[in-house]
Amino acid sequence: MAEIINGKAIASKINEKVKSEIDKISASGGMIKLASLMVGKSKSSEIYVKMQRKTAELVGIEFVTSVLDEGVTQDEIIEAIEKLNAEETVTAIIVQNPLPEGIRHDKIISKISPGKDAEGLHPYNLGKILRREADILPCTPGAIMKMLRLQNIDLYGKEVVIIGDSPIVGKPLSLMMMNEMATTTVCNIATSERGDLSRHARGAEIIVVAVGKAEMVRGDWVSPGTIVIDVGINKTDKGIVGDVCFEEVLEKAAALTPVPGGVGPVTVSILMRNVLRAYKDQNVTA
Ligand code: NAD
């Protein structure tokens, strides 16, 4: 039976550490502010924003939101970002997903000043991962690396299989894994179409799945003793489930993250850590 990795407990640990640093900054008159920009109304965004606000308040970050009308143009969104870039009291900016149809998420993100990029998704910050210089990390990959570190897992030479190659999770995570000298395989929809997914998964010592397909990873895909990190969030008739069939994989894996209560809360904590790091970078005294 697998150990269930408690994301909420890990998130609390990170939050405590972030809070204690922010307390010191506040005591000496510093102010940290995260600006959230949302376009239109989306139920899922609203849930995430609520979680972000709660965590920000917990650690001592002021959380301000602006909501633009569903019908705004890409240029109008960029204009709003440029205003936040110029606003001295704003430490960092997050653009909430999803954006309306026709608005390019990558184009919008690249307009955030790299020093205010709360999610670590600006091309400059992503590029720094390649050079092992990244300080502000993409939140979900950053959360996964932190969770593995806290499990005392040495990635050196390990067979890691990442299922899903999105620019926010799978791709940056693959670079971080390579930086730790893991033998990294990245699978995508084409791997699935060729019927090769389960074969790759069976060869893994660590599986990370970020696809968005409920319970796709079955028990017989997982070799005994594997660490399984489930990033997926899927709404189903039986509630929120991950990309992993929890009951089946629990029997095979050495450790497994649950959904909810796994990667999700840690992702929000890494977002707060990024905001703190952005503040520190902006306030380096010569
Ligand atoms: P995405 O839609 O941008 O990318 C999905 C990826 O899965 C693509 O690389 C695609 O090639 C691949 N894919 C699609 N079908 C596949 C299949 N049958 N087999 C193998 N690969 C397949 O997704 P995303 O934004 O990375 O999100 C993935 C999931 O993770 C979603 O459920 C999302 O809600 C969740 N998510 C969770 C967190 C968190 O903090 N817990 C953060 C981000 C995303």
Ligand 1 pocket, 187 CB below 6 A? Answer: yes
3-class state of residue 217 by DSSP: strand
**pLDDT for the residue numbered 170:** 98
Do 30-126 and 139-264 fold alike per CATH? yes
Q: Is 278 left (phi over 0), alpha (psi -120 to 50) or beta?
A: alpha
The answer to whether 283 touches 30, Cβ cutoff 8 Å, is yes
Residue of 138, 203, 224 lying closest to 177 (CA atoms): 138
Domain 139-264, what fold? Answer: Rossmann fold (3.40.50)
pTM of this structure? 0.97
Place of tokens 């390019």: 104
Task: Measure 280 CA to ligand 1 centroid, in angstroms.
Answer: 32
Ligand 1 pocket, 182 CB below 6 A? Answer: no
Nearest residue by C-alpha to atom 12 in ligand 1: 164
**pLDDT for the residue numbered 286:** 58
For the chain, list residues with pLDDT below 70.
286
User: Cα Rg for the chain, rounded, in angstroms?
Assistant: 19
Domain parsing of the chain, residue ranges: 30-126, 139-264
Rounded Cα distance between 284 and 280, Å, is 6
N-term to C-term CA, the chain: 53
Rounded Cα distance between 36 and 52, Å, is 9
Domain 30-126, what fold? Answer: Rossmann fold (3.40.50)
Ligand 1 pocket, 108 CB below 6 A? Answer: no
**pLDDT for the residue numbered 82:** 98
Rounded Cα distance between 268 and 285, Å, is 28
Ligand 1 pocket, 211 CB below 6 A? Answer: yes
Residues near 45 by Cβ (< 8 Å), separated by ≥ 6? 38, 96, 97, 98
Task: Measure 123 CA to ligand 1 centroid, in angstroms.
Answer: 20
Token readout for 144 is 């996964």
Rounded Cα distance between 241 and 78, Å, is 35
Rounded Cα distance between 114 and 70, Å, is 26
Residues near 182 by Cβ (< 8 Å), separated by ≥ 6? 155, 156, 157, 158, 159, 160, 206
Nearest residue by C-alpha to atom 40 in ligand 1: 264
Ligand 1 pocket, 212 CB below 6 A? Answer: yes
